[in-house]
Each structure stands twice: as structure tokens, then as C-alpha cells.
Structure 1
């Protein structure tokens, strides 16, 4: 992707953020637009994960659920993880967060676009240098912790995947939290 094309996509995304519902991100393939606003179970999962992580992490670290996004302009990628584990000091300044500053990116799978979390971000997050990617899937009540970035002929990928089911404890970096009571999407 050329710098000019990325800049045009970035300007479009910024102009649409408040104009259209949903969330915009940029990948090497172009703009991803999750049309549906996050549901109650999605947002409740984010809130519970944030509180549980911040209870066990040192005070200088944050389980951040707001803006800004993480961005690597040379790679042409801008993502907005549901929860970002990051040091407070790395949040200072203006603009996007440096993806290499993240300890982990955590996603709650969207009901409307699960491939964005299970396929595209599994590809993009190691490319951005995010050492740990954790997926919580309210559709299935399960998830995975992806780690150990290594080089492949198709670019950097996570080498290790540890699956879990809701109800089990999950270890994210140095901290273990419960997945008990995380909501599921209802049928339909």
C-alpha cells in the first residue's frame, strides 16, 4: 500500500468516525467497517475484563478500553483493540499508540464480523509487533491466547496458541484472571 493511499484511507476513517455507526479500521486489504454497534454482552465482557485485569496488574499499567487506536503507518495498518494492556507512560502524547508499546491486545469477537478478530487480526497483530493477542468469543464461550511471534515466509505469525473455555482461568502476560461469568451472545 502506498503512503498516499494509506493517508487517504486514514482521512476517510477519521471523517466517518462520528458520522456512521460501527467501528472503522485499516488493514493491508483496505478499510474494515464493522457496521453493528457493540452489543451489551460485548461491552459487558470488555468492562469485566478491564476490571479483572486492573485488580491484578501493577498500578502503572492500564487495561485501556478507549481511544486512540494503534497504528503502523509504514505497514498501512490501523487497529482499535477492545482492550489494550499498556503502561500509563506509553499513553502520554497525542495521536495513535505505538503498537510495540502494547503488552497485549484483547478482542471480544463481534457477532457481525468474527473473521475480523479470528483471521485478520491474527495476521495483523504480529505484523504490528504486539507480543500477545487474546481473543474472547461470546458466540462459543471460548477463546485463545496467541503469543511467541516468529518469522514465516508469509510474514510474522504467532507460534503458540492456548485455547480456553469460559469458566477457566486464563493467563494474559503475567496475570491470571477468571473467565467465570463472562456473558454469551443469545441465539438469534
Structure 2
């Protein structure tokens, strides 16, 4: 049987809505964070305290010191959703205006100025691979990654078209201790916490 394109899109939309309902039902009952990617549902087991959450707090405070009052570094709910792509994500930090936060339901990813992720120790590929694929598809212009495992990170910008779909064209890597620019604002990265047992890379290597 041949499925017409419109019917295929309706089927995909139906599957996405079913996954979204499942994620929302599990969010309040199972520890961790559930997201919907182009590859399906991912579950990140996050510790309630520790380097991941402390990094989130440091970055929020450092950004809000240098950004204008109408822009915030928001943490927590709601999700960022692009239903047409079938993606539901919740960045650790969302740089967004107060005005664009005043919406019912999920944020429109195209209103985000930047998304920031602190790499999970339990599932680093979710940040380095999955979100690197999904965020340009959603139209998020700047994606910054901080990795407490290695004390390094990257800022990705300049979405462009590729045969595999939209991708970031520019990547700027950094080592903890260097200043890093996210969108229009530069912040220090010194003193950011690391996961215990991880060694600090030599920036000269």
C-alpha cells in the first residue's frame, strides 16, 4: 500500500503527539529528563545536585550580569518544541527575552537567542550528537556546550543547509579558564565545576 505524503505527515504527527503525551506523563513520576528527538525519546538521568546543576547556576548568573534586563538566562520549564520536526527539548539554559517567554505552552525555538547545555555524565552523546543535530533543525541560532567531564566546550553558530538538513557551520572550541562568547555576550569560564575523577586537559595539547 502506498501512503500519500499528507497521510504520512499526519501519521508522523500522530506518533509525535503520542510520544509527547508519554513524556509529559513520565516527567513527574520518573527521575531525570525526558526529551523527544529525531531518533525517538531519550532519558537523561540527572543528579539532583552536583557539577551539572552548579554549572547551570554559574552560567545563568554570569550571563545575566552582562545581558540587558529584557533578556534572561532561563532554566527549567517549559520545553522548547518544534512540532513540525517532531522535536521536544529542554535546554539547561535558554537565553530568551521576557516578551518571548510570555506564551502559553512550550517556547518557540526560533525565539531563543541561544541554548546552552551542560554535558550529562550518564549520556554525553545526547548533548554532543543528538542536540547538535536537532538544534539547527529547530532553528536555534546559537548552541553552547559545556563539558564538566573534560573541562572543555564549544559554541556553534551559523546554521546552513546541508544534504542531511540544517547544520551549524561554525564551531569555536574553548577550554575552561578562557572567556567564551555566547551570542553577543562574553563571560569567563574559570572556576566552573568538574565531575569528580576527571582530569583537566592540557590546553597546549
Residues in 1 aligned to 2:110 and 2:125: alpha-carbon distance in whole angstroms:
23
* Greater fraction strand: 1
Runs of 4+ in 1 over 2 A off after TM superposition: 35-39
2:124 to 108, 114, 129: 114
Aligned to 2:166, what secondary structure does the other structure show?
A: strand
Aligned to 1:75, what secondary structure does the other structure show?
A: coil
2:74 matches 1:60: no
Alignment of 1:1-188 (within 5 A): 2-187=12-197
Residues in 2 aligned to 1:8 and 1:152: alpha-carbon distance in whole angstroms:
30
How far apart are 1:36 and its partner, in Å?
Answer: 3.6
Aligned to 1:148, what secondary structure does the other structure show?
A: strand
TM-align CA RMSD: 1.1
Residues in 1 aligned to 2:37 and 2:23: alpha-carbon distance in whole angstroms:
12
* Equivalent residue number for residue 7 of structure 2: none
How far apart are 1:5 and its partner, in Å?
Answer: 0.4
Gaps (5+ residues) in structure 2? 1-10, 199-205
The answer on whether the counterparts of 1:38 and 1:110 sit within 8 Å (CA) in structure 2 is no
How far apart are 1:39 and its partner, in Å?
Answer: 4.3
Aligned to 2:137, what secondary structure does the other structure show?
A: helix
* Equivalent residue number for residue 202 of structure 2: none
Aligned to 1:93, what secondary structure does the other structure show?
A: coil
Residues in 2 aligned to 1:36 and 1:69: alpha-carbon distance in whole angstroms:
16
How far apart are 1:38 and its partner, in Å?
Answer: 5.0
Residues in 1 aligned to 2:44 and 2:178: alpha-carbon distance in whole angstroms:
29
TM-score using structure 2 length: 0.90
Report the number of matched residues.
188
TM-score using structure 1 length: 0.98
